[in-house]
Amino acid sequence: MSEIVGPAAAALASLCPDDVIFLQSLPKAELHAHLNGYIPIKTILELAQKYSPSSSQTTEVADIIEKLKSGVVLNDLFDFFSLMPAIYTLTSTLEAVVTTTCAVLQLFLNPTSDATESPQCTYLELRTTPRTTTHMTRERYLTVVLDEVEMYPATRATLIVSVDRCTSDSDLEEYISLALEMKNRGRRVGAIDVCGDPRGGDMQSFTQHLSRAKGASLGLTVHIAESTNNTTEDSLAFLSCRPDRLGHATSLSDELKTLFFEDIPQPGTECGPLSEFGLRDPLHPLHSKFQDLKEGYFLRFVSDSTESEEAKVQMSFRADAEKFSERAAIKDIEEMIKQAESPNNARVNGQYKSCIEICLSSNLLCKTVASLDAHHIRYYLKNDHPIAICTDDALLFRMSCLREYFLLLAQPPLGLGLSRDDVARIAQMGMDAAFLRPRD
């Protein structure tokens, strides 16, 4: 593993050797790990050495690969982000996919000479999107990745098929069919994940496909409310499918937590009853949706009215239009929430407790959370809601499963200052939230 940096470095420095031994010995599950975000630098450099340039790559990617060949030192987050297109080029053959998957699995699951960091976890769920290139079909890609995953016993590794939010309807159908086909053939596919740019895609149209996957007993995890760019409608669409796990859930509003989660809000985490829609309040999560609907109804009321133009500018007419448009908008929102709760939309009706995949360092480094003190993990801990400690993209953030646990145990402000009992309980929650892991 690379040199320890970022928030975990300071947390580690504050722990005593006994704390570190305690954390190492805990059985841990890594449930949110993107394959391409974990390829060890050493493997990337080796692939670059072997790579013969092709005419299909852009000059930018060719330049990065040349730099890698010359042994460039990769330092900051920007370097790693700019590296991603080159990583896709370097892993476009089946042979490279096998090499990288094998390297990532070893990184997590095999003991190495660095006993402090290995094996990183007891159980791993690796996620990846089946790719198609001139060298392989999606099915071949998935098959070779599964071949590598299945080198490990089922108690140690499972695969999740990721789909990007911008995936077209037909491609999404293909990904889900492929995942189901593999699962039915006895291959170790545990679940479907939805990932990608929070601003992309229409998640309403995703839900029927996701419900099909759930109905066919595939697990479901989604990147939800990852940032403030995710809208409430977006989160509602996902929650209507009752995913088994939620990735990040950083900006999930209190109203949605109250509406969907079985939690009994503890002091300091309550929110107002949903029936009292404070939709006029700009802070309400559905306020902008309400405003848009209201404006639409207002304009329609004015244009449909048979009143004269003079009458339409009168205060009384405007007040009627206002009242009508507000009532119609509230009705639409009530319908939207009812739809989300409809038994046709959800396998399980009513509230539920989906495990939240918490990625502390990733959130801090991407600045979706200002500090550990302000982190949403505190809400879930306080409300006894299941969570799993995960890493997201180790290559980008230079973290490891163990390093995230340093942040739990270290005293504030370097960490959350949790007790050993609490940390052990959290580790167990991660193990319990696994999709396919047979119980020991």
Binding site for Zn ion (CB under 5 A): 392
Residue with CB nearest Zn ion? 392
What's the residue count for the chain? 440
Spatial distance between the Cα atoms of 400 and 4, rounded to a whole number of angstroms: 9
By beta-carbon proximity to Zn ion, the closer residue of 227 and 291 is 227
Q: How far is the CB of 32 from Zn ion (least distance, A)?
A: 6
What are the counts of helices (DSSP H) followed by strands (DSSP E) for the chain?
Answer: 19, 8
DSSP summary character for residue 144? H
Exposed e or buried b for every residue in 74-100, given b needs 16+ CB within 10 A?
beeeeebeebbebbebbbbbbebbebb
Tokens found for residue 320? 């009627």
By beta-carbon proximity to Zn ion, the closer residue of 37 and 285 is 37
* 204 in Cβ contact with 233 (< 8 Å): yes
* 78 in Cβ contact with 397 (< 8 Å): no
By beta-carbon proximity to Zn ion, the closer residue of 234 and 392 is 392
The closest alpha carbon to 260, from 206, 336, 340, belongs to 340
Spatial distance between the Cα atoms of 395 and 81, rounded to a whole number of angstroms: 9
Spatial distance between the Cα atoms of 168 and 163, rounded to a whole number of angstroms: 10
By beta-carbon proximity to Zn ion, the closer residue of 294 and 403 is 403
By beta-carbon proximity to Zn ion, the closer residue of 38 and 51 is 38
Where on the phi/psi map is residue 245: left (φ > 0), alpha (ψ -120 to 50), or beta?
Answer: beta
**Distance, CA of 214 to chain centre:** 17
Q: How far is the CB of 222 from Zn ion (least distance, A)?
A: 10
Q: How far is the CB of 390 from Zn ion (least distance, A)?
A: 8
Q: Angle at CA 95, nearest 5°, toward 93 and 99?
A: 120
Exposed e or buried b for every residue in 266-299, given b needs 16+ CB within 10 A?
eeebeeeeeeebebeeeebbbbebbeebbeebbe
By beta-carbon proximity to Zn ion, the closer residue of 255 and 392 is 392
Q: How far is the CB of 250 from Zn ion (least distance, A)?
A: 11
By beta-carbon proximity to Zn ion, the closer residue of 108 and 297 is 108
- To which H or E segment does residue 309 belong? helix 309-312
The closest alpha carbon to 277, from 350, 342, 333, belongs to 333
Q: How far is the CB of 34 from Zn ion (least distance, A)?
A: 6
By beta-carbon proximity to Zn ion, the closer residue of 148 and 357 is 357
Contacts of 18 (CB under 8 A, 6+ apart): none
By beta-carbon proximity to Zn ion, the closer residue of 392 and 404 is 392
Spatial distance between the Cα atoms of 119 and 99, rounded to a whole number of angstroms: 19
Strand partners, 352: 261
Q: How far is the CB of 368 from Zn ion (least distance, A)?
A: 11
Q: How far is the CB of 394 from Zn ion (least distance, A)?
A: 11
Residue 213 phi, psi dihedral angles, 5° rounding: -65, -45
By beta-carbon proximity to Zn ion, the closer residue of 30 and 255 is 30
Q: How far is the CB of 223 from Zn ion (least distance, A)?
A: 6
Q: Which amino acid makes up residue 134?
A: T
